[in-house]
Amino acid sequence: MTETLPATGKTRRIRLADGTGPVLAVLAVLLVALAFAGPAYSEPAGYLALLKRAAPLMILAIGQYFVIVSGGFDLSVGSLVTAEVVIAARLIDGDEGATVWVIPLLLATGALVGLVNGLITTRLLVPSFIVTLGMLLVLDGAVFLWTGGSPRGALSEAFRVVGREGFEVPLLGAVPWSVLLLAALVVAAVVFMRGGTGRTLVAIGDNETSVLLGGGRVERLRTLAFVLSGVSAAIAAILLGGFAGVSAQVGDGLEFRVITAVVLGGVVLGGGRGSVVAAMAGALTLEALFSLLNLLGVAGGLESAVQGVIIIAAVAYASVGRIPFRTRRST
Amino acid sequence: MATGTAVAPRPAQRLSRVLQPTVVVYLALVLLLVAGSILVGVRGGVLLDQGGILNILTRSTALGLVAIGQTMVILTGKLDLSVAYLIGLCSLIGAETMAGDPGMIVPAVLLTLACAAGVGLVNGLVITKLKVNAFIATLGTALIIRGYLESAYSGPAGEVPRAFQHLGYARIGPIPVSALLMVALAALAWWYLMRTKGGYHVYAVGGDEEVARFSGIRTDRTIIKVHVLCAVAAGLAGLFLASRLGSGAPWVGVDAGYDLESIAAVVLGGTLLAGGRGGVAGTIGGVLILATLDTIFDDLGVTPFFKDVVRGAVLIVAVALYARRRGALR
């Protein structure tokens, strides 16, 4: 595991041909186009800013990838992000000293929500789409019940450092902390997916019964995927809270955006195929696309239309001309 | 998650199986009405007076229309996430075409339904011909419609003539005419699903698409058909909402969350999300349960946020119970 990241992406692509190649190609085209469209992208700082903006979505994509590749959905991440930001603001309330215990609490909350999602999905046999949809409603309602309709309190400066500040590196300039965190998580995710647990997770998405017959701990691993997704939402919330501040709309629509990103990365809904690096590349591609549309002065309305066309096109490109060896269900 | 044993059973056997969750849904509805009446009664109100019944049925109408279509789509093992934006779009098309002129009602309704059918056709074609997962295909369509709505409209537009508003407000005793129309449509859908060849194909495709195709069913056609029907149902919901509001509103479907809400209602009604089992009767029960919960909470003066919490919990618990029951049957 001493390879650098791009190299890992390459070996992955050779091994898992599906979908990874196209998304990297599209990403490369977009990055080059950005350099032509905006003067800010003529130096590393512009791309670092792009990475900083994309970091929360990319981290969410890692978590969502685990769930999707093992054959599930997690629709609760958007409302979980909102909930975490609102909880953090309420608990910290401008008190610098509180940051130290609030951050572990947020991570634990994310893990707990994931654990509940996972346990209901695996033990009570409720489709994950329904479980996480229910969780979305519960979280949305509960948070606003607790805060009485509008978020109160404020985040401490220390809390916002990760999402906002950076550190100086020669040649590159200011590297945001979130990019460093993102890099660490990418390495961790790649190492995890190359290990036995990660491979079994993909196998579960491909054929749950055979993994079960082969002695794999299907229920435990699927639960783990949801827990990781919950934790990723917590981390994304910490970054977003720092970056954008407290609002009740911070997580709106994130669940569909992150699923779009993961699918754009060639990960097949229903599980069993796709790589985690490609999922993140999908998230970065989506953010790069939005930045490009912004630079070109395309109105906000068209942005979502373009997003819609692109996900249909990406999935159609991946599936047409390939004979599906099995019918996939959308649950 | 269905194993190989879930191949379409004989009709009689299937009927008894399908009936079970349906009966459970309506029992739950009756229990809820009784419990709600007592709770509201304790606070000195009456749940099922004329206003209460009217409230429950009016709430049920729009969601019911969408959910009928959604049921057919889910029975084939697909999903339709585009209905919420489509409802807004249809309310605008209807209201703008009418533009307050009673003579334009019929053309406007026909145009709206044709547009809705077109969207459904696109959904169906993308899913079957381009082999895009239904979740992604309909999410994509939803985003495209949203893009159009965002760029073309900033608020309500169009005007509905008085005559058309009667559709939304006219009632016979405590029962709104529109609710009767919704129930009639549900009956029609029930008849189609249970009594016609096309309906049997819907169940067969949902049970196992591969097996259905090998059995000589044109699975693509069936899937396209249900998506068109679902979109038309959403179009009807859009027209109904336009007649209630007096004009078209771009975000009327999204604000009410009709996409996820309709899926919740269908699943609450005992239809399997993976397809192949369930039916319209259960869905209507599910819709009524959601509407009754809302009305009870309103009467009790509970904050709207608490509603969401209960709704989420009810959804998960109900589906867990169905899953348990199915596990025991096997």
Query: What is the full DSSP assignment across A136-155?
Result: HHHHHHHHHHHHTTS--S--
From CA A212, how far away is CA A251, in angstroms rounded?
36
> What's the pLDDT band for B109 if we cut at 50, 70, 90?
very high
From CA B303, how far away is CA B100, in angstroms rounded?
37
Specify which residues A166 forms β-bridges with: A176
Contact B267, B261 (CB under 8 A): no
Nearest to A12 by CA among A222, A237, A191: A191
pLDDT of residue A37: 82
From CA A304, how far away is CA A247, in angstroms rounded?
22
What is the least distance, in Å, from the CA of A238 to any CA of chain B? Answer: 24
The DSSP secondary-structure symbol of A326 reads S
Rounded mean pLDDT of B110-137?
93
Rounded mean pLDDT of B279-305?
88
pLDDT tens-digit profile of A173-220? 777 888 888 899 999 999 998 888 888 998 998 888 888 888 888 899
> What's the pLDDT band for B15 if we cut at 50, 70, 90?
low
> What's the pLDDT band for A44 if we cut at 50, 70, 90?
confident
Lowest average pLDDT, out of A148-157, A235-244, B152-161, B204-213, goes to A148-157
Q: Where are the domains of chain B?
A: 19-329
Contacts of A276 (CB under 8 A, 6+ apart): A62, A65, A66, A69, A189, A190, A193
Residue A98 has pLDDT above 50, yes or no: yes
Residue B188 has pLDDT above 80, yes or no: yes
- Smallest Cβ–Cβ distance between B144 and the set A269, A305, A324 belongs to A305
- List of E strands, chain A: 166-169, 173-176
What is the least distance, in Å, from the CA of A171 to any CA of chain B? Answer: 41
Residue B4 has pLDDT above 80, yes or no: no
Query: What is the full DSSP assignment across B214-229?
Result: HTT--HHHHHHHHHHH
Count contacts between A and B (CB, < 8 Å).
164
Residue B281 has pLDDT above 70, yes or no: yes
Element (H or E) spanning B172, and its range? strand B171-172
What is chain A's mean pLDDT, rounded?
Answer: 82
Residue A250 has pLDDT above 50, yes or no: yes
pLDDT of residue B237: 94
Element (H or E) spanning B176, and its range? strand B175-176
> What's the pLDDT band for B17 if we cut at 50, 70, 90?
low
Give the fold, CATH level 3, of B19-329.
ABC transporter involved in vitamin B12 uptake, BtuC (1.10.3470)
The DSSP secondary-structure symbol of A124 reads S
From CA A84, how far away is CA A106, in angstroms rounded?
6
Nearest to B124 by CA among B231, B224, B222, B229: B224
pLDDT tens-digit profile of A300-319? 677 788 888 888 888 887 77
For A299, name the nearest residue in chain B, comparing CA atoms only: B151
- Smallest Cβ–Cβ distance between B144 and the set A75, A263, A309 belongs to A309
For B141, name the nearest residue in chain A, comparing CA atoms only: A308
Nearest to A76 by CA among A232, A224, A286: A232
Rounded mean pLDDT of A242-256?
82
Backbone angles phi, psi at A54, to 5 degrees: -80, -15
pLDDT of residue A329: 44
Is A138's CB within 8 Å of B309's CB? yes
Is B312's CB within 8 Å of A137's CB? yes
Mutation choice for A interface testing from B89, B133, B208 by most A CBs within 10 A: B133
pLDDT of residue A234: 94
Rounded mean pLDDT of A103-122?
94
Is A130's CB within 8 Å of B141's CB? no
pTM of the model: 0.85
Residue A7 has pLDDT above 80, yes or no: no
CB contacts of A209 in chain B (<8 Å) are 3
- Smallest Cβ–Cβ distance between A134 and the set B142, B149, B315 belongs to B315
Give me the torsion for CA of A151, A156, A158, A160, rounded to 10°: 40
Give me the torsion for CA of A14, A17, A23, A26, rounded to 10°: 70
Contact B249, B91 (CB under 8 A): yes
B141 touches chain A (CB under 8 A): yes
pLDDT of residue B117: 96
Residue B131 has pLDDT above 50, yes or no: yes
- Smallest Cβ–Cβ distance between B133 and the set A136, A141, A315 belongs to A315
Rounded mean pLDDT of B145-152?
90
